[in-house]
Amino acid sequence: MDQLHLMTVYIAVAEEQGFSAAARRLNMSPPAVTRAISTLEEKLGITLLTRSTRHVRVTEAGTRYLVDSRKIVQAVEQANEAAVGINAQPKGKLSVTAPVLFGQKYVMPGIVEYLNTYPETQVDAVFLDRVVNLLEEGFDAGIRIGHLPDSTMHATTVGHVRVMLVASSDYLTINNTPRSPNDLQNHTLIASSAGSMAHDWQFSSANKKASKILRIKPRLTVTSNQAAINAAKQGLGITRIISYQVADELARGELQEVLAGYELPAIPVHIVHREGRMTSNKVRCFIDLMTKRLRADKILN
């Protein structure tokens, strides 16, 4: 069998974690997918996948081969696009990732516009409140909130957000509005364990020249930011959240900002991708579309 075909089948099985799912994705029969993987393993002389009755997992050697296979298949796709021309309509599958609430509020509308604009594309969108390794996990592009470490990723800044404290007006009326971070010791606090919303809350000093870390003792800890927002809206207490997550609630007066004078500097929002000069047309068009949408959003800019 053709080597590129074998790599394409292997990528599908590894990403779908199953032969049947890969067969549906590739429009092949399951026996044909099984034969392709067996042929590839025999040709390489290694085991790429471990099989059980319920799961297919990539071996350590298979993980390295998966990364290299993706690069090769992607390079071929880019060469084909270059031959057709830069103005060719994007086509094929695009995998993107973003934090949960940001993905729901800001990325999904852009994905719908992208799909409507380019009818020969498909999108897999995965929203997770953790840092995703685009290369190892097979994503074409992602949204990152925060300062980026040095890496091989290519990034486009599309806005800024703030980490803030919020509470309902009813709660603040009954319990008084805190005037400094130390006052939080006398308040009911709501913590989210999602993403970077840990139990250590950091604040700037009033003159912005120093910072302070406050170890809090939350009365309620939840696993999602939306749950923390809901509890605050119901008047339970004060929670720490990112500004875009409560923009609607602040505009409607359902929540109020607390200790704004002690906020940390704004943090950037980036679109990141793992391709360089030869970015594929489908990725380039998605980044251009999302960049335009996000930079035009007044909540982010």
- pLDDT for 200-255, tens place per residue? 898 887 666 667 888 888 999 998 899 999 999 999 999 999 999 999 999 999 99
Asked if pLDDT for residue 278 goes beyond 60, the answer is: no
Spatial separation of the C-alpha atoms in residues 259 and 281, rounded to whole Å: 45
- Kindly indicate the confidence band of residue 291, based on its pLDDT and cuts at 50, 70 and 90: very high
Q: Given this model, what pLDDT does residue 193 score?
A: 85
Neighbours of 137 (CB within 10 A): 13
Kindly state whether residues 171 and 249 are assigned to the same domain: yes
Q: Given this model, what pLDDT does residue 206 score?
A: 62
Q: Given this model, what pLDDT does residue 84 score?
A: 64
The number of helix segments (H) and strand segments (E) in the chain equals 11, 14
Q: Which domain holds residue 232?
A: 163-262
Assessment of whether the complete model's pTM goes beyond 0.85: no
Provide mean pLDDT across the span 181-199.
84
Out of 43, 63, 83, a domain closes at 83
Kindly state whether residues 28 and 173 are assigned to the same domain: no
pLDDT per position as a tens digit, 38-93: 999 899 999 999 887 777 889 998 888 988 888 888 778 777 766 666 566 788 88
Kindly state whether residues 24 and 75 are assigned to the same domain: yes
Domains in the chain, number: 3
Kindly state whether residues 105 and 236 are assigned to the same domain: no
Kindly state whether residues 168 and 254 are assigned to the same domain: yes
Asked if pLDDT for residue 166 goes beyond 90, the answer is: yes
Is residue 237 in a domain? yes
pLDDT per position as a tens digit, 105-150: 999 999 999 999 999 899 999 998 887 777 777 788 999 998 877 5
Helix, strand, coil fractions of the chain, as percent rounded to 5: 45, 25, 30
Out of 36, 67, 83, a domain closes at 83
Q: Given this model, what pLDDT does residue 277 score?
A: 47
Handedness of CA 168, 169, 175, 176 (dihedral sign): positive
Handedness of CA 114, 115, 116, 119 (dihedral sign): positive
Is residue 157 in a domain? no
Q: Given this model, what pLDDT does residue 92 score?
A: 84
CATH code assigned at 282: 3.40.190.10
Is residue 126 in a domain? yes
Neighbours of 213 (CB within 10 A): 9
Kindly state whether residues 172 and 213 are assigned to the same domain: yes
Provide mean pLDDT across the span 186-195.
89
Which has more confidence, 252 or 277?
252
Distances (CA, A) of 192 to 106, 195, 221, 232, 243: 21, 8, 6, 12, 15
Q: Given this model, what pLDDT does residue 207 score?
A: 62
Kindly state whether residues 57 and 8 are assigned to the same domain: yes
Out of 33, 68, 83, a domain closes at 83
Kindly state whether residues 36 and 73 are assigned to the same domain: yes
Phi, psi angles (nearest 5°) of residue 210: -150, 175
Kindly state whether residues 64 and 124 are assigned to the same domain: no
Kindly state whether residues 169 and 251 are assigned to the same domain: yes
Kindly state whether residues 98 and 112 are assigned to the same domain: yes
Kindly state whether residues 180 and 47 are assigned to the same domain: no
Q: Given this model, what pLDDT does residue 16 score?
A: 84
Which has more confidence, 4 or 255?
255
Cβ-contact 48, 40 below 8 angstroms: yes
Is residue 300 in a domain? no
Cβ-contact 199, 227 below 8 angstroms: no
CATH code assigned at 169: 3.40.190.290
Is residue 99 in a domain? yes
Phi, psi angles (nearest 5°) of residue 267: -115, 145
Is residue 199 in a domain? yes
Rama region for 45: left / alpha / beta (φ>0; ψ in -120 to 50; rest): left
CATH code assigned at 23: 1.10.10.10
